[in-house]
Amino acid sequence: MGEPNAGEVFVSGTDRLKSLSDGVFAIVITLLILDVKFPADKPLTLETLAGMVPHILSFVLSFVIVGVYWVAHHNMLHYIKAVDRQLLWLNLALLLIVVFIPFPSALLGLHPDNELAIALYGANLIATNAAGTALWFYATTRPHLAADYMTPELSWFVAKLHSAPIAVYALAIVAAQWSIPAALVLFASVPLFFIVPHAWIDRRLQALGKPPEPPSPH
């Protein structure tokens, strides 16, 4: 597509955005496992393996969380029929934050009892949710980008649903000052909520303008 004339709005399909995003999410999920490696300078014993448990748990937690973000991103695109330049940049900002997740995940595996590691991990997840919510809200409040079945009520409902974990992650950061296990439980509770089916969410989506055959956008 050539450059638009002055005054025209650049709009294109979502295929390339989907392809780039899926590729980035796949790379991020793969990078997470690189931190789980057996120390070459130690013997293969149960004690050594036990020392790897924090790395394994951090990997599993981060894998599931990134997977939930990928599902959310994938399902959001059922409600978006086109993209413009602003949406492309918002998506790139989201991917930038997602790509950073392996770093605090590795720190959490190395220092599972460290408040700063918890804070960095939580801050990264907060930024991810905020960026995803901004992307959703921008796209679904622009008629030239949103699918025909989009309604203002549906846009607001999903925006609130998608941004709700921000409060949980912030609470986890605060809770870490008194209890690291409580903070980790709060982190794990977010993906668990979105993985478990919720009939009331599906009913609400149906009432607000659910597309013909999509998975629920969360």
pLDDT mean for each 10 residues of the chain (218 residues): 47 83 93 77 72 83 92 87 90 95 92 92 95 92 85 84 90 92 91 73 63 47
Question: Do the domain assignments include residue 90?
Answer: yes
Range of the domain at 179: 13-208
Question: Do the domain assignments include residue 169?
Answer: yes
Task: With CA atoms as reference, report the closest residue to 191 among 218, 163, 159.
Answer: 218
Question: Do the domain assignments include residue 5?
Answer: no
- Our count of domains for the chain comes to 1
pLDDT at 69: 93
Question: Do the domain assignments include residue 216?
Answer: no
Question: Do the domain assignments include residue 123?
Answer: yes
pLDDT at 4: 45
pLDDT at 95: 96
Question: Do the domain assignments include residue 8?
Answer: no
**Side-chain half-sphere exposure of 115, counting CA atoms within 13 A:** 9
pLDDT at 40: 66
pLDDT at 92: 95
pLDDT at 218: 43
Question: Do the domain assignments include residue 76?
Answer: yes
pLDDT at 187: 92
Q: In this structure, are residues 86 and 92 in contact, taking their beta carbons and an 8 Å threshold? A: no
Q: Which residue type sits at 69?
A: Y
